[in-house]
Amino acid sequence: MVVLTGPPALPSKVIRLFVFVLVIILFLHTQRLSQSQTRTIEIDLEDLAAEGPPAEEQYLNRLKKEYGLTNYTAWSAWRIRTLEQASEWESITNLDADFRSNEFKLIEVKNPSRPQLVAQKQLDVPVHGSPLPEQVDASDFLFALSTSYDKVMENEFAMVKNWVRWMTGGNRNGNGATFILVLDQSPEHQVKELSEILKFQGIDAYVTTSTTPMSVAKRYVGMLQIIKDFSGTLAQKGQLKKWYGILDDKIFLPNLSYLQHRLFNYNSNDELYLGLPSERADWAIGDGFVTTYGGGAVFLTPSALSRIPGLPCFEDGKSDNKGWDSLLQDCLAQHTQMTMRVLPSFYSPSDNDDYAARTDSYETGIPPLVLHHYEERHQLNPSVAHLVTDVCGEACFLQRYRFRDNWVLVNGYTITEYPDGMNMADVPNSGDGHKSVIGPLQLDEDAVKRKMLFWTGHRNVWRLMDSVKGTNGDVWQAYVKRASAEDTPSFKRSEDEIMDSVVVLIWETAVSAKQ
């Protein structure tokens, strides 16, 4: 039997006083910790004040300090006004401008010329109307994952910042979602500390820990029991969840309203398993077959969840060298008649394999449902990349925008120049027809119209390096191509002095655009 600590039992009279004193000490301690630590979180959203040097100069200084820039740097800054459009969503949006109409300028980073630095160019960007993250009601969801304290604390709380993006509406307000975090053998003070930090950020969280060493898979199995117990407690308080998301610690959900829209097709009263693999790497592809274990994101209905702890497949010893998602799927397939469905995200087995293997999934123009291993596979930091949705809505994240002169912005990810030409074509299905999904799974694809991007020759890529929000709500993005990048160094001051180059996009909030 897996041992995990549940909700604390009432202490006996004898130790009650001791516990009381301990709680006070812990409280003061975590209060201090959570204050200093949440301040760290906010430094990222540092104000770009209205007084003093122009905001562009402050932003340049931030980039110089945080990331370092070559003494001379090429710089192109744009102000962006979003125009909400009612027309149908498209896989790529054409912009009525040439990127080259705002040529890169040479900036001496130590002593920049202000006219060179300040964005002179305004760009109108059509965005598909969609709710802002803060407008989403996620109270149907309970999300749960298990990881270690150290991983949560890594990179200045990167994980917490990511969770804040999709488990709150910003400004420390919850969005209704409930979160269960099971730590790996953490002492009580770490559990308390994280619990405080998450609550302070507006996440409705229950944090607990495993108490003995065990495999990740076993920790996840233990977590299912915890979720079941906890949802019983929630139900008593009248909070009924419809969907239990069991997630890897490297999952980011960029658009809960899109997820809701996809889940709306199912009856949450049924006993149902849904796997949400993100991209091709979340599938096992063999000779003529494909399959997936859900890619670290599995959604269960309440009745499916309550079945699981009683199943005979999670006994000691059997589960140790399997992933939790494959263990879960195999078990359900073997011991239940449960309906098991897969909602493909960036990759679907009917896709043309050549194209899918060769193209970065985040640049395919497919509406993102789940991001998985964003860091390892794409060097993407979700909380930074997703910040722009505070201005342009969740529909604009990873949306492709094409300039007239063959530059393409993938919002929150890259800006790419295709100097030798590019074109768009409809996505053909693989046509070979012999690739069938094995196992108990049924595929439910979203019928979106996609367009493939083809290019010839080489391409130059600027990657998102930084994004912050100003006091007025504008979101600043910096896309950078390093001097040291292997592909064509397009910016040189002299033969041996190659420069970094930076594209700054300032996404204006509707309010500040009017002023």
Ligand X SMILES: *[C@@H]1O[C@H](CO)[C@@H](O)[C@H](O)[C@H]1NC(C)=O
| Binding interface with ligand X (CB under 6 A) | 71, 89, 128, 130-131, 255, 257-258, 261, 367, 394-395, 497
Q: Which residues are bridge partners to 426 per DSSP?
A: 451
Distance CA 101, CA 59 (A): 22
Nearer to ligand X by C-beta: 65 or 514? 65
Nearer to ligand X by C-beta: 106 or 153? 106
Distance CA 443, CA 345 (A): 11
Amino acid letter at 393? Answer: G
**How far, rounded to the nearest angstrom, does the alpha carbon of residue 248 sit from its chain's CA centroid?**
12
Nearer to ligand X by C-beta: 415 or 499? 499
Least gap, CB of 460 to ligand X (angstroms): 22
Q: What is the 3-state secondary structure (H, E, C) of 274-289?
A: EECCCCHHHEEEECCE
Amino acid letter at 508? Answer: E
Least gap, CB of 82 to ligand X (angstroms): 14
Please enumerate in sequence order all residues whose Cβ is within 8 A of that of 498, keeping only pairs 6 or more positions apart, or say none. 70, 483, 484, 489, 491, 492
Give the closest residue to 356 by CA, choosing from 283, 443, 440: 283
Nearer to ligand X by C-beta: 193 or 500? 500
Nearer to ligand X by C-beta: 132 or 333? 132
Nearer to ligand X by C-beta: 128 or 219? 128
Distance CA 314, CA 39 (A): 42
Nearer to ligand X by C-beta: 296 or 393? 393
Least gap, CB of 136 to ligand X (angstroms): 8
Least gap, CB of 71 to ligand X (angstroms): 4
Least gap, CB of 170 to ligand X (angstroms): 16
Residue with tokens 């540092």: 46
Least gap, CB of 356 to ligand X (angstroms): 19
Give the closest residue to 297 by CA, choosing from 254, 351, 237: 254
Least gap, CB of 73 to ligand X (angstroms): 11
Give the closest residue to 134 by CA, choosing from 161, 174, 163: 174
Least gap, CB of 366 to ligand X (angstroms): 9
Least gap, CB of 464 to ligand X (angstroms): 17
Token duo for residue 98: 């040439």
Dihedral sign computed on CA atoms, order 188, 190, 191, 197: positive
Nearer to ligand X by C-beta: 129 or 232? 129
Least gap, CB of 175 to ligand X (angstroms): 14
Least gap, CB of 133 to ligand X (angstroms): 10
Burial class (CB within 10 angstroms; exposed 0-12, middle 13-18, buried 19+) of 455: middle
Distance CA 189, CA 170 (A): 26
Nearer to ligand X by C-beta: 94 or 120? 94
CB crowding 328-358: b at 16 or more within 10 Å, else e: bbbbbbeebebbbbbbbbbbbbbbbeebbee
Q: Are 77 and 474 in contact (CB under 8 A)?
A: no
Nearer to ligand X by C-beta: 138 or 338? 138
C-alpha distances out from residue 211 to 2, 4, 207, 229, 383, Å: 9, 6, 13, 18, 31
* Residue number closest to ligand X, CB atom: 367
Least gap, CB of 261 to ligand X (angstroms): 4
Residue with tokens 């949006």: 93
Nearer to ligand X by C-beta: 216 or 395? 395
Nearer to ligand X by C-beta: 89 or 200? 89
Distance CA 215, CA 234 (A): 28
Give the closest residue to 289 by CA, choosing from 444, 439, 443, 436: 436
Dihedral sign computed on CA atoms, order 358, 364, 370, 375: positive
